[in-house]
Amino acid sequence: MHKYANPTRFMKIANTVMPWTTAIAVICFVIGLPVALYTSPPDYQQGDTVRIMYIHVPAAWLALMAYMVTAGGSAVFLIWRHTIAHVIARASAPVGAVFCALCLFTGMLWGKPMWGTPWVWDARLTSMLILLFLYLGYIALGDAFDDQERGDKAQAVLALVGSVNVPIIHFSVEWWNTLHQPSIVTMQGLTINAQMALPLLLMVGAFQCFYISVVVIRLRAELLSAKIRVARQNLAASGVPVAAE
């Protein structure tokens, strides 16, 4: 896998994958949204309110997955010093933060009619809010140091420490007595009706492919920014005046 640490080689693969993920995301959204919002049956208890699930659940899954990508990239960066791994981590974090915020917002919309209040200090909700703070802290930490290398290391360490929160989020409904409903995905499969499972899986696929496409776009921007930064440092080292950023 070390050969993919070369940014040029990695981006060649990423740029090949991106058109496919973009196309799949569009197809899944076009098919999944009408089915989720209009065709799928209402829940026997929650009625049409259950349709929030088709946005809330994929956003929650992608928020967790994006953080694990950030933590995984940070681990590779700290262990093997692969710059591309840290760039992937940086590219993933803002996208994951948006998914996390979307998860919390839709959860509040769902919680109001179900619980009578948009927010409770439930274990799942609280740990998800902590995840959003971890995302925001990670993003802010990257620009908090004058020395870019120190900032990169600090970001990577924070991402790894924060990864402890991911299993807490996942198992919170099993470890504690919470208001949040149990996970709909178990070792036995999906615990919801097949007519609901299809649009849910379509929306998960749409969110997943959208995430990959946006991360590739952000990778291009991050690598370009890194090249500009290195060029500025080389010019400054050679005595050429460089305008402040």
Asked whether the beta carbons of 99 and 62 are under 8 A apart, the reply is yes
24-33, 138-147, 166-175, 188-197: lowest mean pLDDT where?
188-197
Assigned domain for 242 exists: no
Amino acid 240 reads V
Asked whether the beta carbons of 159 and 89 are under 8 A apart, the reply is yes
Assigned domain for 83 exists: yes
Which pLDDT score is estimated for 132?
Answer: 98
Asked whether the beta carbons of 96 and 152 are under 8 A apart, the reply is no
Coil, helix or strand at residue 163: coil
Assigned domain for 24 exists: yes
User: What average pLDDT does this structure show over 4-11?
Assistant: 86
> In the block, which residue shows the tokens 């681990």?
75
HEC sequence for 197-240: HHHHHHHHHHHHHHHHHHHHHHHHHHHHHHHHHHHHHHHHHCCC
Can you tell me the distance from the alpha carbon of 183 to that of 164, in angstroms, rounded to the nearest whole number? 19
Assigned domain for 244 exists: no
Residue 236 pLDDT grade (very low, low, confident, very high; cuts 50, 70, 90): low
Collect all residues with Cβ–Cβ distance below 8 Å to 77 and sequence separation of at least 6.
83, 85, 86, 89, 152, 156
pTM above 0.85, yes or no: yes
Question: How many residues make up the chain in this entry?
Answer: 245
Assigned domain for 121 exists: yes
Collect all residues with Cβ–Cβ distance below 8 Å to 67 and sequence separation of at least 6.
92, 93, 96, 100, 131, 134, 135, 159, 162, 163, 166
User: What average pLDDT does this structure show over 51-65?
Assistant: 96
pLDDT at 245 over 60: no
Asked whether the beta carbons of 131 and 63 are under 8 A apart, the reply is yes
Assigned domain for 151 exists: yes
Q: Encoding tokens for residue 92?
A: 């993933």
Q: Encoding tokens for residue 63?
A: 């928020």
Give the structural domain span for 55.
Answer: 2-237
Assigned domain for 243 exists: no
Provide, rounded to the nearest whole percent, the portion of the chain with pLDDT above 90: 67
> How far from 91 is each of 126, 139, 142, CA to CA, in Å?
25, 10, 12
User: What average pLDDT does this structure show over 74-92?
Assistant: 94
- Render pLDDT for 128-150 as a digit per residue (tens, 0 to 9): 999 999 999 999 998 888 888 89
Q: Report the domain count for the chain.
A: 1
Assigned domain for 131 exists: yes
Q: Greater confidence, 186 or 34?
A: 34
pLDDT at 161 over 70: yes
